[in-house]
Structure formats: structure tokens, C-alpha cells
Structure 1
Amino acid sequence: MEQQPAASIFLALQESALGHLMRSSPALYPAVEILHILGFVVLVGSILALDLRLLGWGRAIPIAPMAKLLLPLSRFGFGLAISMGFLLFSADASHVVRNPAFQAKLLLIAAALVNVVIAHAGPWRRVALWRDEAPAGAKVSALVSLLLWLGAVCAGRLIAYL
């Protein structure tokens, strides 16, 4: 039976020097996994705080300065989580890519990123004009964001069990 080209890409990654290194080092995989977790903790924690503020919690904190603090943190967390996630993926790519929880995680992350683009192209363009409350469009985006990012975390955790 002939391998499909996409499957061979994942097998090649898994069998690469990187994949072998991730599987063979007793300390590397756990260290990378810890960094991956720290990345998504920073990412989702900062997003959670900002989205809850947009939904009306913590009205004493102005939205614009809070966003100025938390958005760079979320970008840093995303970069760390994605880069470490790729390293983890390389250890068993041909198997993990077929895992429905992994597939769901990727779809949820992609949808969350689309939500970010829509939010920043729409309601966030006028953030300087917001008073103490975010407009309805920003609230909808915040609620969608919460659901998608928390769903991605849950799906990611389920990878080990499916």
C-alpha cells in the first residue's frame, strides 16, 4: 500500500533528527512540555482576563491600558506554545496528526485566530473611543474567544487519551 504524500511528511518529521532527539532525550521532552504548558497558560490567562473585562467584569480597570499590557503577553504565550507544541508534535507526528482531539485543537486554534483578526479589523479599531464598556461587537468577540481558547485547551488535554 502506497503512502499518501501528507502522511509521508509527518512520518519524515517524526523520523527526522528533531523527532529522534525529542524521543530519545530523557529531559528534553518533559522540559519542552513544561514550556508548552507555560506558553498556553500565559496565552489563555491573558486572553481570559481581557475577555472577561470586555464582558463587563472588573469595570474599575480601563480597557485600553489593560489591552496594552495583556495583548503582548498573549502574543508571547502564543509564540511559546506554538513553537514548543511543534517540538512535541515532531516526536510522534504520524500518530498525533490522526488524533481527533489534536485535529479539534488545531481547528479551534484556527477559529480563535480568525476571531482575533475579525475583532481587530472591526470593534478593536475604535478601542480609543470606548468608555467604561466595550461595544456589543467586542463583547461577542470576547465570548467567542473564551469558548474557542478554552475549547483548544480542553482538546489539547484530551490528546493523551484518544
Structure 2
Amino acid sequence: MDEVLAALQATPVAQYLRTARWGYAALNTAHVFGIAVLVGAILPLDLRLLGFWPQTSRADLTRILVPVAVAGLVLAAATGPLLFAMRAEEYAALGIFRLKLVFIALGIAGALTLHRAYGLALNGASERRVAVHAALSLVCWLGALVCGRFIAFVVE
């Protein structure tokens, strides 16, 4: 595994990102923007599923916010591995980074499971079922956000 991480760090893209101020800045900005779009869509949706704004249609919110969240996830998932490659050995050794990946995997798995069972609009899903999912979703996505932010403070 160490050889794979070292090879990843040695790629031309990783080397470029470690030395190119504007290249790194653009990539990091794109990653943060993807996270902002993802969490910015998930938060109001999960709050609605927890019972906030009951007058707002669950179907209307899911129709709008689920694709927005997916777009944010795609952008963050496309840029994250490039950021990881810059310091793969260091990041892979961090417990906080591994915890971030667990939160992300659980958040994605929970969303896929719920939407596979009930469709995009969650038709037929009980209020209790969506509330439990929403609570877990909030923990996962906010946990991933906090862990990701803390990485900046534990890496020298």
C-alpha cells in the first residue's frame, strides 16, 4: 500500500498541484464549492424530512434538492482524489481522514438505499423512516464536513 501511495504522490498531476499556487487554489476552491453545494442542498432537505416546514411538499424539495446534492457530490468526488494525491501518504495515515471517508460512504449508502426503495420523491416512505434517514444523513454529511475541515489543522 505504501508503494501505491508513494506512486500516487509522484504522479505529474500531484507534483504540479504541490507547486502550482493557482492550480491548487482552483482545485481546492472547486472542492469546497462542491461540498458547499452538497451540504447546502442536504441540510434543508434533511430538516424537512425531520418535520420542519411541513407545509412545503416533500416531493417538491426532493425534486429540486436531490439533483443539486448529487451535482455537489460529483464535483467534490472528482476533485477530492486529486487533492488526496498531493499528500497521499500523509492523508492516508490520518484517522480523521479515514473517518471522513467512512462518513461519506455511509451518507452515500444511506441515500442510495432510501431512494432505491422509495424513488426520488420518496413516495410511500413513512415519516418515521425518512426522519431516521434524515438524522443519519445529517450526522454523516456534517461529520464528513467537520472531519475534512479538521484535516487542515492536523497536517503540517
TM-score (norm 1): 0.89
- Residue in 1 aligned with 2:146? 154
Please tell me whether the aligned partners of residues 124 and 138 of structure 1 are also in contact (alpha carbons under 8 angstroms): no
Root mean square deviation, CA, Å: 1.6
Which digits, 9 at most, give the CA deviation of each residue in 1:4-61, with x for residues without a partner?
xx11111111101111111111111111111111100100110111000111111221
1:56-95 paired onto structure 2 within 5 Å: 56-95=51-90
Distance 1:125 1:90, change over 3 A: closer
Matched pairs, number? 154
Q: Secondary structure at the match of 1:128?
A: coil
**In structure 1, how many angstroms separate the alpha carbons of the residues matched to 2:73 and 2:3?**
28
Cα distance, 1:96–1:126 mapped onto 2, change above 3 Å: closer
TM-score by length of 2: 0.92
Q: Deviations over 1:47-97 (max 9, x none)?
A: 111000111111221110110111110110001111111111111111111
The question of 1:113 aligning with 2:121 is answered no
Q: Which amino acid aligns with 1:80?
A: L
Specify every segment of 5 or more residues in structure 2 that has no aligned partner in the other structure, as ranges.
none
| Structure 1 stretches of 4+ moved >2 Å | 121-130
Q: Deviations over 1:128-162 (max 9, x none)?
A: 357xxx52111100110001100000000111222
- The Cα of 1:125 is off from its aligned counterpart by 7.1
Instruction: Say if 1:12 and 1:136 are closer, same or farther in 2 by CA, change over 3 A.
Output: same
Q: % of aligned pairs identical?
A: 32
